[in-house]
Structures are given as structure tokens and as C-alpha cells.
Amino acid sequence: MKSKLTAVALAGLVVAGTAAAAIPASAASAQAGPTRCHTADLKAGFATGGDAAPEMGQTAKQTQAFIWFTNQSKRTCTLSGFAGVDMVGTQKTDGTWSLARSSKKPVTMTLGQGDTVDFSITLLPVAKSTPEKEKFVPGEFLVTPPNETTHFTLRWPFGGQILKQDGATHPGTYLNPVGL
């Protein structure tokens, strides 16, 4: 009988200890930190300044374009992972190309009000003389922030064309995570 009473007394102490250590809901939310950024919290665009523009006129190597997200909300939020990027082509043979992701590991970026972060898209440009069926001519980019379902529609401002590899396992055109 003594062991049953000891067990009941210990159980009462554990329950009492747990109740005493509980954190009030208001304090728990204050300690939780920022939540993820939603599409409505952000604005987006292509980085177009001097050295940010991709070298679409050359065809000897890959080049990069950069897309930025700016937190336009009044709260701090986080972005982590890969944006979704679908390129919409201007030729009738282009269609829409959902870009593959690089093997780089994402990091969490914390954005205060007005803070900006970007990500890069690695592109493999081709010559204008490349046959239509082998090239993709970008017109618009549908850009969805990480973990969201609503996208921004951005017009491609740089001209040029990309080697069409929309079905390739390791295409020369792909995207990197936000912040890298």
C-alpha cells in the first residue's frame, strides 16, 4: 500500500510542478519570434542596377539575374527556402518553364520593416541564331515567395534568350535559395 501512495504523491508533484512552470499565452507569443513572410507582406522585382543585370549578350558562360523581396509590412517576418519561379516565354513554342532548384542549402532570413533580401537565378544564354525550338525567350516571371501559393508577375527586363532545357535533369538555368 505504501508504494501506491508514494506513486500517487509523486504524480501529484509532477502535475503541480508542470502547472507552476506553465508560460502565460501572452508571454509565449512574445517569445515565439517572427513568423514567416506572406506574399501580402512583400513586394518583389528584378535587380536592374549596373552589375546586377545578367550578361544576356554573351553565350560563352552562365550569368545571373537577381530577384528581390522587400518586407513592406509593419512587422518583422522570415523567409527561408526557395521561391517558386515559372518563366513564361514569348515564342509560341516556349510555354511555361518551372525552374529547377540548386543543391544549395537554404538559410532563414529575418526581415524587419523595409528590409530587402534577394535570390539569384543562374541562366544559360544562347545566341539569337539558335533555332527557335532550342531557345526560350523569357517574357514574364511568376515568382512565388517560399512556402506561399500567391505569386508576383514580373516582366523580364533584360532581353536575350536562354538554352531551352525545361525537361533536363540538371539544366544550365536554375534558381538558388533566398539569401544566397
Q: Helix (H) and strand (E) counts for the chain? A: 2, 14
Over residues 29-50, the pLDDT tens digits come to 456 789 999 999 999 999 998 8
Instruction: Look up residue 133 and give its DSSP letter.
Output: G
Residue 91's DSSP bridge partners are none
Residue 166 amino acid letter? D
Give residue 41's Cα distance to chain centre.
Answer: 14
Check residue 178 and give its pLDDT: 98
Residue spans of alpha helices (H) in the chain: 2-21, 25-31
Residue 45's DSSP bridge partners are 68
Confidence of residue 143 (pLDDT cuts 50, 70, 90): very high
Q: Is the pLDDT of residue 164 over 60?
A: yes
Instruction: Locate the domains of the chain by residue range.
Output: 2-31, 36-175
Check residue 32 and give its pLDDT: 73
Asked whether the whole model's pTM tops 0.85, one would answer no
Over residues 80-111, the pLDDT tens digits come to 999 999 999 999 989 999 999 999 999 999 99
Nearest Cα neighbor of 144 from 67, 94, 85 is: 85
Q: Give the integer Cα–Cα distance in Å for 68 and 27.
A: 34
Which residues does 35 contact at the CB level (< 8 Å), separation at least 6?
77, 78
Task: Give yes or no for a contact between 112 and 71, defined as CB atoms under 8 angstroms apart.
Answer: yes
The overall average pLDDT reported for the chain is: 87
Q: Which CATH architecture does the domain made up of 36-175 adopt? A: Sandwich (2.60)
Q: Is the pLDDT of residue 7 over 60?
A: no
